[in-house]
Structure 1
Amino acid sequence: MEEAVFVSDTHSCCDVDHSQHEQFVEESDRWDKLGMTLSGLCAIHCLLTPFLVLSVPVLGEAFEQPWVHIVMALFVVPVGLYAFYSGFLHHKKKGLTALGVAGLAMVCAGLLAPVSGIDLFGHDILTIVGSLCLVVAHVLNRRACLCHRH
C-alpha cells in the first residue's frame, strides 16, 4: 500500500518557497549544466593544448595565449558563482559550495601562474584540477537542489 505524501508550500527539506520550486529547479539545472559544459571545456582545452602545440604549432600556440584563459574564466566564474550561490540558498550544504568556490579559485589562480608552455605543469594542472572540481560541484549542486519529497 502506498503512503500518501503531504505536499505544502513549506517542507523540511530546504528553505525554498515550494510554490515556485519547479521553476527554481529548472533554472538551477540550466545554470549547472552550463557550468559543467564550460568547466569541461576548460579541462579539455588544458589537456589538448600541449598536443596541439606539438602537432599543429600555429593552432596550438593560438590556444595557449593568455587571452584564451581569460575569456574562458569570464564565462566560467560568473556562471559558477551564480549556480553555487543560488544552490546554497536552497540546500545549505557548505562543503558542496566550498568545493565549487575552490574550483573557481583554482581556475582563477591558473590565470596568474606562469605559462608553462608544452609541459603539463603549473597553470595547466591548477586549471585542470579546478575545472574537474567545478564539474563535480555542479553535478552535486544539481542533485542537492532536487528535493525528493515533492
Structure 2
Amino acid sequence: MPDNSTLIRRRFDRAGIMLAGLCALHCVATVLVVSALGLGGHFLLSPEIHRVGLALALIIAAVAIGWGALKHRRAAPFVTAMMGLTFMGGALAMPHGSGEAVLTIIGVALVSIGHLLNLRPFVKSA
C-alpha cells in the first residue's frame, strides 16, 4: 500500500493531467468558437488565461514531477514534462492563432505524458 506522500503526489499528477486536458479543450474551443462564430474573443483570447494556466501547470508539475523524480529517480517523466512546459511557454510568445494552439496542445500533451509516466509504478529491471 502506498504511503501518504505517494498518494498526495499521485493526486498532483492527476490534477496536472486534468489541467492539461482543460488547457487543450480551451485551445480547441477558442479556435473553433472565435473562428466560426466570432464570439468570446475578448475573454477566450485573454493573455491572462494563458499566463495563469502556465503558472498553474508549472506549480503542479514542479510538485508532482519533481517529487516523483526525487522518489523514483527516473528522468523520463521529468524530461518529458519539462519539454511540454517549454512548448507551452513558447506558445505564449506567439500571436493568437493556430500556431499558438498547436504549440500549446503539443505542450500539454507532453506534460500529460510526463504525469502519466510519473504515475506508473517503478519496475526494476531484472
**Partners in 1 of 2:102 and 2:11 — Cα distance?**
28
TM-score (norm 1): 0.75
Is 1:63 aligned to residue 44 of structure 2? yes
Amino acid at match of 2:120: R
Runs of 4+ with deviation above 6 angstroms: none
**What is residue 87 of structure 1 aligned with on the other side?**
68
- Listed as ranges, the gaps of 5+ residues in structure 1 are 1-17
| CA displacement at 1:147 relative to structure 2 | 7.1
Higher helix share: 2
Q: Highest CA radius of gyration, 1 or 2?
A: 1
Amino acid at match of 2:107: G
**Partners in 2 of 1:29 and 1:95 — Cα distance?**
16
**What is residue 108 of structure 2 aligned with on the other side?**
131
**Which of 63, 74, 86 is the aligned partner of 2:55?**
74
- Listed as ranges, the gaps of 5+ residues in structure 2 are none
**Which of 104, 111, 119 is the aligned partner of 2:92?**
111
Is 1:99 aligned to residue 76 of structure 2? no
Once superposed, what is the RMSD of the aligned Cα atoms?
Answer: 2.0
**What is residue 13 of structure 1 aligned with on the other side?**
none
- Segment drifting more, 125-134 vs 45-54: 45-54
**Partners in 2 of 1:85 and 1:96 — Cα distance?**
9
TM-score (norm 2): 0.87
| CA displacement at 1:115 relative to structure 2 | 2.1
| CA displacement at 1:40 relative to structure 2 | 0.9
Number of equivalent positions = 124
Deviations 1:68-91 (A, max 9, x none): 111211211111111110000111
Q: Identity over the aligned pairs, expressed in percent?
A: 26
**What is residue 118 of structure 2 aligned with on the other side?**
141
